[in-house]
Amino acid sequence: MSTHHVEKVVIIGSGPAGWTAAIYAARAALDPLVYEGMPTQQMIPGGQLMFTTEVENYPGFPEGVDGKDMMKLFRDQAARFGTRIVTDDIAKCDFSRQPFVLHDSEGNEILTHSVIVATGAKARWLGIANEERLAQSGGGVSACAVCDGALPAFRDQPLVVIGGGDTAMEEALYLTKFASKVTIVHRRHELRASRVMQDRVLGNPKIEVAWNSVATEVYGDMVISGVQLTDTKTGETRDVECKGMFVAIGHEPNTAFFDGQLDIDEAGYLLVKDPLRTTTNIEGVFAAGDVSDQIYRQAITAAGMGCRAAIDAERWLGAQGVE
C-alpha cells in the first residue's frame, strides 16, 4: 500500500455486497483490496447480518445459516481468490483526481484507479435500554421484518412494530402472515404513511395502533418479553406483552465521509446514474448494496449489486487501459 503503488480497485465495506464484489474482482485478476472497517457499537465488519442469528431466505442454505457464519463464508471465499483485507476504516476520499486518493484511519494513503463503495446502512434504533443488546444477540429485536419475521420464534406470537411511515406499515402487514397480533407504536395520533397504506393497516383485523405512544423500555433477559409504552400527552405508562419488536424508523447510509463528492438522495443514499448499472456521478466509483438501496435491503440483492459493481469496474478499467 505504498503511495507509489496504484491499486486497480479498492472495495470499501464488507457486507454481502463488498465480499461478492471482492470475489468477482479477484477472479477477474483485479487483485482487489478490501477495507472491511473497524468494529463499533453500531457497525461490525460483515454488515447488518452480523446482528442476525438466523438467515433463512438466502438460497443455498435449506436449513438456514447463522448471519455471522454466513459472512465468514463470504469473507473466506474472497480471501481464497487472493483478496487482500485490511481491518480499518477509510476516513477520507479525494475523487477529484485520478488515480483517486484514499486515507485510512491510521493515516495511510492509498492510490487507486477505481473504488467500489459497499459501506451499507445502519438501522436507526430508539436508544433505549436492552434494545440493541437484544438485537445483537438475536433476542427478538430486529430492524427488518422481511429478514426475520418468518422465524419460528415469531410465529403465532404478539409482535410490536415501531414507526408511522410506509416502511413501518409494510413491516406490520408482512408480520400479520405469522403473528397472532401486531401492535404499531406511533408517537402521534396520525400516521405519516401514504393513505393507501394507512387504509390497509387500519382495515386489518390483526393490527392495532398504540396512538400517541413511544416505547421507553424493552423487557427481557435472553429474549424479549414485552415493551413499556409511554403516552406522549399524559406521560402515563403501560406494558405490552410481545415476543418480537421491529424497529422501522429508518436507516442511515454510511456516506458522510465522502464529503459531498458523490451524489445522494434526500435520505443520504448514493445515487446511480443508470438503474441497470452501479456507476455513480464520478467515473470509476461504483455503488453496491444497502448504501444505494433503500427499497429492498436484503442480503441477496446486496450480493447481486456487488457482482454488478465488480463487473462494471472491470469493464471500466479495461476501457481505461488498466491491465
Taking only the tens place, the pLDDT of each residue in 93-136 is: 999 999 999 999 999 999 999 999 999 998 889 999 899 899 88
**Containing domain of residue 150, as a range?**
125-247
* Cβ-based neighbour number of residue 265 at 10 Å: 11
Which position among 89, 104, 148, 312 bears the catalytic label? 148
Which position among 89, 104, 147, 290 bears the catalytic label? 147
Active site residue 307: no
Residue 301, classified by CB atoms within 10 Å of its CB into exposed (0-12), middle (13-18) or buried (19+), is middle
My answer on whether 159 and 221 are in the same domain is yes
My answer on whether 233 and 155 are in the same domain is yes
Q: Would you say residue 145 lies in a domain? A: yes
The CATH number of residue 211's host domain is 3.50.50.60
| 239 and 214 Cβ atoms separated by less than 8 Å | no
CA dist 210 and 228 (Å) reads 12
CA dist 13 and 67 (Å) reads 16
My answer on whether 140 and 209 are in the same domain is yes
Number of compact structural domains in the chain: 2
Which position among 144, 242, 293, 312 bears the catalytic label? 144
Of the residues 191, 226, 247, the one at which a domain ends: 247
Taking only the tens place, the pLDDT of each residue in 263-274 is: 999 989 999 999
My answer on whether 16 and 108 are in the same domain is yes
Active site residue 144: yes
Q: Kindly compute the dihedral angle of the four CA atoms of residues 198, 151, 54, 217, in this order, to the nearest 10 degrees.
A: 60
**Which one-letter amino acid corresponds to residue 5?**
H
CA dist 313 and 262 (Å) reads 17
Of the residues 214, 232, 247, the one at which a domain ends: 247
Active site residue 242: no
Residue 59, classified by CB atoms within 10 Å of its CB into exposed (0-12), middle (13-18) or buried (19+), is exposed
Q: pLDDT tens per residue, the chain (323 residues)?
A: 444 799 999 999 999 999 999 999 999 999 999 999 987 756 678 787 887 668 888 999 999 998 889 999 999 999 999 999 999 999 999 999 999 999 999 999 999 999 999 999 988 899 998 998 998 888 999 999 988 999 999 999 999 999 999 989 999 999 999 999 999 999 999 999 999 999 999 999 999 999 999 999 999 999 999 999 999 999 999 999 999 999 999 889 999 899 999 999 998 999 999 989 999 999 999 999 999 998 888 999 999 999 999 999 999 999 999 98
Q: Would you say residue 239 lies in a domain? A: yes
